[in-house]
Structure 1
Amino acid sequence: MPMSPLWLLLVLPVSLLAIYLLTPRRYQSSDSVAQAYDSWTQDGILEFYWGEHIHLGHYGNPLRRKDFRAAKADFVHEMVRWGNLDRLPAGTTVLDVGCGIGGSSRILARDYHFDVTGITISPGQVQRARSLTPDGVTAQFKVDDALNLSFPDASFDVVWCIEAGPHMPDKALFAKELLRVLKPGGTLVVADWNQRDTRRRSLQGWERWVMRQLLDQWAHPEFASIEGFSELLEATGWVDGAVTTADWTRETLPSWLDSIWQGILRPAGLVRFGFSGLIKSLREVPTLILMRIAFGQGLCRFGMFRATRA
């Protein structure tokens, strides 16, 4: 007997949810992170829907409606201003840690005339970043490990990093490497997904399950808190004074649902990527919804960090 449409509507979501829960993409090593990003870069689905910026957008304060991709570019400019980088001269050397396919690096090079080096652990992302960068844009890209940077001490005027921290299993070493390659007097600017400081209020039942999914589904070993990562930066002994922080949860919150809407607003993706692409895209929806819940309920926070190298 053929399956009725109503029965199909019930079976399909349950099947997809079962696949989602039974096939997590847990962090195993830096290689597992590289392979995940290589895969997302090779098939082109993430770039098609998210554009050249694989990070959240900035929707202003107070919030205002924006095009999803425009909000991402706006985020870069807002981060430049918040970090006081717009006061720096042309030729300032910048290390973009976790550069993705180079969207932020190109803005920093093109609009602010900085000399940018973007690094990522994914060879696929490096190849794509290079192909997207026009001649004359002073941005170069290489494969490197943020926990073991290949650059000498005090190599850059600015170290810049967006949403790379959750992939780092050793947050203290990550903090040290970011500051080690920064010149004395240079500026560190970091934007990251953070969890609530559980030293002050521990995770409850549903929160533990949500956090487990947010870690397991996107190859994250753990999230730091804003307070905890600030302490790790200061503990290096390389920070002049105190780390300056801010919470941009409100400004970035619309990004999560906007990213889901891209699948509806850009139906050409169904033709371009076919049924397998549809299934792969649908697989990300539960995580995006859980991210919106976590950030909306205060379980997660979007942290901004600024420090000067002593």
Structure 2
Amino acid sequence: MFELILPFFFLFIFLLAITIIWRINARKYISSGTVASAYDAWTQDKLLERLWGEHIHLGFYPSGKKNIDFREAKVQFVHELVKWSGLDKLPKGSRILDVGCGIGGSSRILSKYYGFNVTGITISPGQVKRARELTPSGLNCNFQVMDALDLKFEDGSFDAVWSVEAGAHMNDKSKFADEMLRTLRPGGYLALADWNCRDLKAYPPSFFEKLVLKQLLEQWVHPYFISINEFGNILKINKNSAGKVISDNWNVYTNPSWRDSIIEGTRRPFSILSLGPLAIIKSIREIPTILLMNWAFSKGLMEFGVYKCRG
């Protein structure tokens, strides 16, 4: 009897240890500095890059298809957002600002495939360093450490502003929109994608949903989430916006990414093992949050918002 119980006992202890590590090492948003520190750490340990590749964002799966390579889906996402937002109408040499550029994956595609002159900004010095290392000298990409809520560019400096999954880290969504639209030239294009929650005022969360949202905020340095309509309205009333803002929910196209982000570890086990035993613990430590993200997006508690408008 004891021999039958023993494996379950060790599994319980293992899961309990992971849960304790998960809670003790929660990455709560305190300031923009905590966002920078978290991304510096993720970049330095290279685990996220090894598993997610150069694109630290979700992928695009046409009509929810699941038999697509995880990393190819991320590249496809960039092309789909370019086409949907109208950036493909811009001529080569157009000036693009990539807000929250990560390690430069989207910036390199925008430069290589569309001939754009791209400036990527992130609050993480570690990401800027890595983005520069990964970028061939022939591409028109440059990367700078900069706060998205205080952009150091003149008004109307860019033909388009691009931002993917950065807004959820901003503690002032209106200022985030202000700065992007301020730097966009009249008639320029804004292309944005982000993690949103459903309209919690119209559809209040249950007790369990509140617990889930709390964990999603505290584990990945998010100050708060807002709905797609809320952020769309922020863009519409902005003085630098032409007023017509189109938004959509791409959950059906992006949700398979959560499952694939876990499976990726089994597809490329050496990517983790080559980083040492600590990397295994760190990768397992992220699984509860990814599972919660998967549940929240699949149930509609969270939504993947995409936005486009003209300056």
TM-score by length of 1: 0.97
3-state secondary structure, aligned to 2:142: strand
Deviation at 1:5, TM superposition (A): 4.3
Q: After the TM superposition, which of the residue ranges 238-247 and 91-100 deviates more from structure 2?
A: 238-247
How many residues of Structure 1 are paired with residues of Structure 2 in the alignment?
Answer: 307
Match of 1:287 in 2: 289
Alignment correspondent of 2:33: 31
Paired residues of 2:195 and 2:302 also in contact (CA < 8 A): yes
State the AA in 1 paired with 2:12.
L
Distance in 2 (alpha carbons) for counterparts of 1:88 and 1:138: 16
Q: Which amino acid aligns with 1:80?
A: V
**1:63, distance to aligned residue in structure 2 (A):** 2.5
1:99 maps to which residue? 101
Once the two structures are aligned, what percentage of the paired residues are identical?
Answer: 51
Moved more, 98-107 or 232-241: 232-241
> Amino acid of the residue matched to residue 69 of structure 1?
R
Partner of 1:217: 219
Structure-2 change in CA distance of 1:126 and 1:244 (3 Å): same
**Residue 187 (structure 2) aligned to one of 185, 188, 203:** 185
Q: Structure 1, residues 105-133: CA drift from partner, whole Å, max 9, x if none?
A: 00000000000000000000001000100
Counterpart position of 1:123: 125
Counterpart position of 2:91: 89
- Amino acid of the residue matched to residue 221 of structure 1? P
**2:53 matched to 1:44?**
no
Deviation at 1:222, TM superposition (A): 0.7
Q: Which amino acid aligns with 1:167?
A: H
Measured after TM superposition, the shift of residue 275 of structure 1 is 1.5
Amino acid of the structure 2 residue aligned with 1:17: T
TM-score by length of 2: 0.96
C-alpha displacement of 1:308: 0.6
Gaps of 5+ in 2: none
After the TM superposition, which parts of structure 1 deviate over 6 Å for at least 4 consecutive aligned residues?
none
Partner of 1:171: 173
For residues 48-67 of structure 1, the aligned pairs below 5 Å read 48-61=50-63, 63-67=65-69
Q: Which amino acid aligns with 1:87?
A: K
Cα separation, 2, equivalents of 1:236 and 1:270: 45
Following TM superposition, by how much is the alpha carbon of 1:4 offset from its aligned partner in structure 2, in angstroms?
A: 4.7
1:174-206, CA deviations, whole angstroms, 9 ceiling, x for partnerless residues?
Answer: 111110000001011100000001121111111
The C-alpha deviation readout for 1:214-272, integer Å capped at 9, x for no partner, is: 00000000112100001111222222132101110000000001000111111103431
Q: 1:150 maps to what in 2?
A: 152
